[in-house]
Amino acid sequence: MQTSDFLVIGSGVAGLSFALRAAEHGSVTVLSKCNFLESSSAKAQGGIAAVMDADDSFEEHVADTLDAGAGLCDEAVVRQIIQEAPACIKELLNWGVDFDMEEDGQFCLGREGGHGKRRILHAKDTTGLEMSRKLLAAAHAHPNIALLEHRVAIDLITSAKLGSVTQDRVLGAYVLNSLTGDVDIFRSDRVMMATGGTGRVYMYTTNPTTATGDGIVMAWRAGASISNMEFVQFHPTTFFNPQAKNSEGLTFLISEAVRGEGGVLRGPDGEEFMQKYDPRKSLAPRDIVARAINSEMLRTGHPCMYLDITHKPEGFMAERFPCIYETCLNYGIDVEHQMIPIVPSAHYQCGGVQTDVNGQSSLRGLFVAGESGCTGLHGANRLASNSLLECVVVSKRALSLMLCNLPLTRELEDFPIPEWVQGEKAERDDLAILYHCWDEVRRTMTDYVSIVRTHHRLQRAASRLRNISREINEYYWGYRVTPDIIDLRNITLTASLIVDCASRRSESRGLHYTLDAPDKLNQARASIMRNI
């Protein structure tokens, strides 16, 4: 058993930025499911949105965020997060993050879809890697932070589950050491859940292997409310690689910042098509662009559309987007002279554990920041580059509230917690079948719960997921727990929560589009679910 003042599950930007601040007040343990840099944070390309230019204003950033969110953002939350951005950028600079600068010493600001102004701070096209590396180095150097890789949180431990009659609260987590196979108890009265998104429930995604919705479903199983899971954002421009043997080859992102610098979407005949869908053309918000590409692919029968940036001067792409330039060259496309073949892929989960702007969930002691939380910032569709911003602002506010409401006494230290009970069945000989279940979940979500949905498709998905879930509970969960079994259990529940939320929405809004009801209803409402 290990005890710390703060337990952080996740080593992305949300988890690490929280850990660095919390370490000034007590001991912090940070758990990471794989290695520390296997995260969406480390893959982030475009940058972090913040109002840093005299020509821009908080009001304009708020208006763009609300517009993208399609009537479902919490305006007060949007305002708070956007206004606190500059202070958090200063903190990032203090932790050593290097953003690109202009020669006159001002930030070099990029533009992305849905933003009326240039307001994206970036480090070339590997902003997330720069942020993650610098935060990780600062965390390694901090004497109050213990960083542990290859630790997979399985479930939260709560007082109610242990028969307490007082207010339910979180006590820590059961955690698998995937190198040894042991399950340990990590105790803490203050848990920061920062496990990232859910992209891996789909076959084609920009997300890393860790994005299996773990934090969301752990919180759900512990009794916390979740909301808005139907709003899965598909990024319009992922590299299309017809030679790819599996989904791994199809996941490379072509940053929206390329369109921000003038990249234009074209059909196979070289003609622009976005003017048919939105006056902002290639820089319309992502839900609109992804649906337009999907619709053009269906109309033309072509397996992809194209992003054209060939009009830029020679050398521009290699200088501004070196990672994209090199990666495309490796795939055989010289972006300075050829159009880039692209398709939409699952990219971002706008829903998650329902929290306030301080990341506080409905379960005492459980805070959530980053992609696994749902504060109300993104509504029905996230504005580009607002995610890294949410990670750093919400994790900061969460610590302030924890310090006020959960004094650093270890009042629950004596609460007895039973050891994890391993399943009694011995070694499995059926790994292949387990992978078939995983594939079935991902194929079901890709076929039935993608960019365009119908009630009938959602029903079919729900029925398939119910069967897989029954199989997991009756069969796999009786074996010694392994990372594969944990992932399968979590993606199946994550997928079911997405389908359940989607089935409750009898309209089309933002990222949820159903052919059965293609318009918005007049009254905007979040889809909130409680596991009771």
Q: Which CB, 125 or 503, lies closer to ligand FAD? A: 125
Q: How far apart are the C-alpha atoms of 318 and 311, rounded to whole Å? A: 14
Partner from ligand SIN, ligand FAD, none binding residue 391, C-beta < 5-8 Å depending on class: ligand FAD
User: Could you say which of 207, 228, 354, 361 contacts ligand FAD (CB under 6 A)?
Assistant: 207
Sheet with 373-374, side-by-side order of all strands: 373-374, 352-354, 225-227, 528-530
Shortest Å, Cβ 494 to ligand FAD? 11
Closest CB 292 distance from ligand FAD, rounded Å: 21
Q: State in angstroms the smallest separation of the CB of 190 from ligand SIN.
A: 29
| CB distance 407 to 368 below 8 Å | no
CB 48 within 8 A of CB 121: yes
Q: Where does this chain touch ligand FAD (CB under 6 A) — which range of 8-16, 69-77, 279-287, 432-440? A: 8-16
Q: Which of residues 373-392 bind ligand FAD (CB under 6 A)?
A: 385-388, 391
Give me 2's structure tokens: 């290990």
Evaluate the CA torsion angle 111, 115, 117, 120 in order and state its sign.
negative
If you ran DSSP here, which 8-state letter would residue 192 be given? E
CA 468 – CA 114 distance, rounded (Å) = 39
* Residue list 274-293, contact with ligand FAD (CB under 6 A): none
To ligand FAD, the closest distance from the beta carbon of 474 in angstroms equals: 23
168 binds, among ligand SIN, ligand FAD, none (CB under 5 to 8 A by kind): none
Beta bridge partners of 368: 193
CA-to-CA dists, residue 128 to 24, 114, 349, angstroms: 24, 20, 17
Tell me the window of 76-84, 132-140, 212-220, 255-263 that interacts with ligand SIN (CB under 6 A): 255-263
Footprint on residues 414-433 left by ligand FAD (CB under 6 A): none
Given the residues 111, 286, 453, 464, select the one marked as catalytic. 286
Q: Which two tokens stand for residue 114?
A: 């849905």
What phi-psi label fits residue 431: left (phi over 0), alpha (psi between -120 and 50 degrees) or beta? alpha
d(CA 326, CA 500): 41
User: Per-residue DSSP letters for 12-66?
Assistant: SHHHHHHHHHHTTTS-EEEE-SSSTT-SHHHH--S-EE---STT--HHHHHHHHH
| Residues 46 to 65 in contact with ligand SIN, rule: CB under 6 A | 46
Q: What is the per-residue binding string for ligand SIN in 5-44, x denoting contact by CB under 6 A?
A: ----------------------------------------
How far apart CA 65 and CA 74 sit, in angstroms, is: 10
Q: What is the chain's length?
A: 532
Backbone angles phi, psi at 158, to 5 degrees: -125, 155
Picking from 456, 24, 68, the residue whose alpha carbon sits closest to that of residue 233 is 68
At CA 239, angle to CA 235 and CA 240, rounded to 5?
110
Binding to ligand FAD by residue 108, rule CB under 6 A? no
> Nearest-CA neighbor of 50 among 76, 88, 19?
88
Closer to ligand FAD by CB, 43 or 464: give it.
Answer: 43
Q: Decide if residue 361 touches ligand FAD (CB under 6 A).
A: no
Among ligand FAD, ligand SIN, none, the one that 38 touches (CB under a kind-dependent 5 to 8 A) is ligand FAD
Decide: helix, strand or coil at residue 144: coil
Binding of residue 82 to ligand FAD (CB under 6 A)? no
Of positions 153, 283, 293, 363, contacts ligand FAD by CB under 6 A: 153
Choosing from 256, 336, 356, 390, the residue that interacts with ligand SIN (CB under 6 A) is 256
Q: Could you give the string, one character per residue 445-484, with x where binding to ligand FAD holds by CB under 6 A and - elsewhere?
A: ----------------------------------------
Amino acid 114 reads G
Q: Which stretch binds ligand FAD (CB under 6 A): 364-372, 447-455, 511-519, 522-530?
A: 364-372
Is residue 210 close enough to count as binding ligand FAD by CB under 6 A? Answer: yes
Nearer to ligand SIN, 254 or 434 (CB): 254
Q: Pick one of ligand FAD, ligand SIN, none as the site partner of residue 127 (Cβ within 5 to 8 A by kind).
A: ligand FAD
Residue 138 CB partners (closer than 8 Å, separation 6+)? 20, 95, 96
For residue 190, indicate whether it is catalytic.
no
- C-alpha–C-alpha distance, residues 141 and 98, integer Å: 18
User: If binding is defined by CB under 6 A, does position 132 make contact with ligand SIN?
Assistant: no
Site for ligand FAD, residues 31 to 70, rule: CB under 6 A: 31-34, 38-41, 43-48
Query: Among residues 72 and 461, whose Cβ is nearest to ligand FAD?
Result: 72
Hey, which residues are catalytic here? 286
Which residue ranges make up the site for ligand SIN (CB under 6 A)?
45-46, 255-257, 384-385, 387
